Structure 1
Amino acid sequence: MYDMKNLGQLKALDEGAPEAMKAFWAFNNAAFAEGALPKLTKELIALGVAMATQCPYCIALHTSAARDAGATDAQLAEAALVSAAIRAGGAVTHATHMFAK
């Protein structure tokens, strides 16, 4: 199912729902614009979220964007492990529901 060529079909969304997609792209561009957080930090956050949500498209796109923003292998590795810790922490804390009385 995963094939980067599928992203070429985004134009179908742009054509089918132009106003909504225009708003989406404006929001996306604003969210990733340099601001209080530098671009690299935003891309590392996005990469961590992409790994947690397990979106291969986002992982590929944000890895590339993080590298373009200057990410090192060490920074990418730490982002991956923070993402893994958050997922594991969610499982551990949700496990407490098993023991609720």
Structure 2
Amino acid sequence: MYDMKHLNKLGDLGKNAEIAMKAFQEFDKVALEDGAIPKKYKELIAIAVALTTQCPYCLEIHEKKAEDAGATKEELAEVTFISAALRAGAAVVHGTHIM
């Protein structure tokens, strides 16, 4: 099901919803460019979110962009455990609803 080749179909998606696709692409570009938060940190945040949502496409895309922006393997490893801690923490605190 998850094959990076599916991303080749983004053009078809865009042809069928051109205005929305262009707006999304511009929003995505602006959201991830350097700003108050440097690009490297934005890419690390994107990886943390992708690990949490478990999106293999985002993981592959943002891992490359994070490394290109200067992220180290150590930073990628820490991001992994931050994501794991937040996911586990959410399960624990949601457990209060069943107490």
Coarse TM-score class (shorter-chain normalised): over 0.9
Shift of 1:29: 0.4
Residue 63 (structure 1) aligned with residue 66 (structure 2) = no
Count of aligned residue pairs for this structure pair: 99
Q: Which residue of 1 aligns with 2:13?
A: 13
Question: How is 1:17-56 mapped onto 2 (pairs within 5 angstroms)?
Answer: 17-56=17-56
Structure 2 distance, partners of 1:23, 1:73, is: 33
Q: Deviations over 1:19-76 (max 9, x none)?
A: 0001000100010111000000000000000000000000111111101111111000
AA aligned to 1:56 is P
In the alignment, structure 2 segments of 5+ residues that lack a partner are none
In the alignment, structure 1 segments of 5+ residues that lack a partner are none
TM-score (norm 1): 0.97
Shift of 1:79: 0.5
Structure 1 distance, partners of 2:66, 2:80, is: 13
Structure 2 distance, partners of 1:57, 1:22, is: 19
AA aligned to 2:94 is H
> How many percent of aligned residue pairs carry the same amino acid?
55
TM-score (norm 2): 0.98
